[in-house]
Amino acid sequence: MTRRGKTIQWIVLNGESREPERAAKRFVWLSAAACTLLSFCTLAAMAQPLSSDHLIVPGMRIGNAELAPADQGALQRNLGEPNQTDQRGDMATYRYGAPKADGGAPDELVVMLDLNTDAPFEIATASPDYHTRDGLKVGSAGAAISAALGKPICEAADGAGNGIMVYGTIWFRLTQGNITRIAIRNHLSADDFKTDAVHC
């Protein structure tokens, strides 16, 4: 074989011998780029408020507002910035939704946060968009509550058309026999309503 032929043969063989190394480097680089892109997309998705399914799960959540595990950061990641925030003592209230027609505070979704534990104490809604699996929602008749959930641990009225029905992890405010507000907690008892305007 001539010197030129040996040179060509060496170049071809040398090129073939380095191809797997180059392929491996390309694979590592592409894998790293894909992982970086995937991580970025995941973080971006986590930063965006999630769309709500509007389901009320007693003792757990109303839409994307969860009782536990949750804290102020989790609430804002899931729901976005509140439309209004109030604080009284160790309790902060986050309100979501548009102000009411009469100028009242937003009440589509109301989260009461215990600042001592940095966890939601109660989540409530006055919007008919949210409903339980049984179909209970703001506007439903009070009779539908006991038909779906049975006997409450407390049922009370003030004689002026206002009432409450309390269960283990969900309670209802009624006006003129219809639901006007639904709220959930981790645990409820009749003692929680001893001093309210409508009390057990």
SS (H, E, C) the chain: CCHHHHHHHHHHHHHHHHHHHHHHHHHHHHHHHHHHHHHHHHHHHHHCCCCCCCEEECCCEECCEECCCCCHHHHHHHHCCCCEEEEECCEEEEEECCCCCCCCCCCCEEEEEECCCCEEEEEEECCCCCEECCCCECCCEHHHHHHHHCCCCEEEECCCCEEEEECCCEEEEEECCEEEEEEECCCCCHHHHCCCCCCC
pLDDT band at 35 (very low <50, low <70, confident <90, very high): very low
- Evaluate if residue 32 carries a pLDDT over 90: no
Q: What is the pLDDT of residue 40?
A: 38
- Evaluate if residue 170 carries a pLDDT over 60: yes
- Evaluate if residue 18 carries a pLDDT over 90: no
Q: What is the pLDDT of residue 122?
A: 96
Segment among 24-38, 89-103, 179-193 with least mean pLDDT: 24-38
- Evaluate if residue 8 carries a pLDDT over 70: no
Q: What is the pLDDT of residue 160?
A: 93
Q: What is the pLDDT of residue 25?
A: 54
- Kindly report the pTM of this predicted structure: 0.72
Q: What is the pLDDT of residue 45?
A: 35
Q: What is the pLDDT of residue 52?
A: 58
Per-residue pLDDT of 48-106, as tens digits, reads 343 558 999 999 999 999 998 777 788 888 888 999 999 999 999 999 998 878 878 88
